[in-house]
Amino acid sequence: MELNEQNWPFEMLRSYVQYVSSTKAWVARYHGLPNILSDPPGQQFVPSVPFSHVVLFDTEVNERPGFAVADVDGEKVNFYLIVPVTAAEAAWKREVGIEDSLFYAVGSKEESESVCIDYVIDPNRKCAVTYHHLPEEIEFHRAQEGSEDEDDSDGEEGGNENEGESTEVEEGNSQLN
């Protein structure tokens, strides 16, 4: 069977299953795995789709109908969402950790249009790192928050030279809103 834009998710799942079965390693939420079926590993699942890695996310059991924790012979079975990511997004996650990277990017577009990586797979979506520039935007917002904290804690009485002027970042331009 030739891989293409319609059937590449099966290759993604096959790569994930191959990793687990060949390594006998356990996986848990927020683990990231490269495409191990490619040569060399970590290449795109198919050339026409930008994804080369997957990251496991919680299913938000209480919020998503159809997902439930299963009990198989007294053992709890966890279900995870397998979210495909680009090589740049996977590298970003490895570099700064999931809390400072993909937590800002992955979500439901039904809940927020500013989500870069939807739970529903879109093979044509743009990269959160190279297209949406999320790492730079997150740093910008952190720097803004840090400077506001410094301004509030300087202990000086009197007015700010910018008093009365808005120093807020314009709403609606941020992927983090």
Q: How confident is the model over 75-118, as pLDDT tens digits?
A: 877 778 899 999 999 999 999 999 989 988 998 888 888 889 99
**For the purposes of burial, counting CB atoms within 10 Å of the CB of 1, is it exposed (0-12), middle (13-18) or buried (19 or more)?**
exposed
How far apart are the C-alpha atoms of 122 and 120, rounded to whole Å? 6
Q: Where are the domains of the chain?
A: 8-136
How far apart are the C-alpha atoms of 79 and 18, rounded to whole Å? 18
Q: How confident is the model over 116-156, as pLDDT tens digits?
A: 999 889 999 999 999 888 888 888 888 888 777 665 555 44
Grouping H, G, I as helix, E, B as strand and the rest as coil, residue 89 is helix
Q: How confident is the model over 33-90, as pLDDT tens digits?
A: 999 999 999 999 999 999 999 999 887 644 555 556 677 888 877 778 899 999 999 9
pTM of the model: 0.73
Asked whether the beta carbons of 85 and 117 are under 8 A apart, the reply is yes
- Per the structure block, which two tokens stand in for 53? 């890695």
Instruction: For residue 69, give the amino acid letter.
Output: V
Q: What is the dihedral of CA 36, 9, 11, 135, to 10 degrees?
A: -20
Q: Provide the pLDDT for residue 159.
A: 37
Q: Provide the pLDDT for residue 164.
A: 36
- Count CB-CB contacts under 10 A for residue 46: 21
Give the full edge-to-edge strand order of the sheet including 80-86: 32-34, 51-58, 80-86
The DSSP letter of residue 26 is -
Q: How confident is the model over 3-40, as pLDDT tens digits?
A: 777 889 999 999 999 999 999 998 888 999 999 999 99
Q: Provide the pLDDT for residue 63.
A: 56
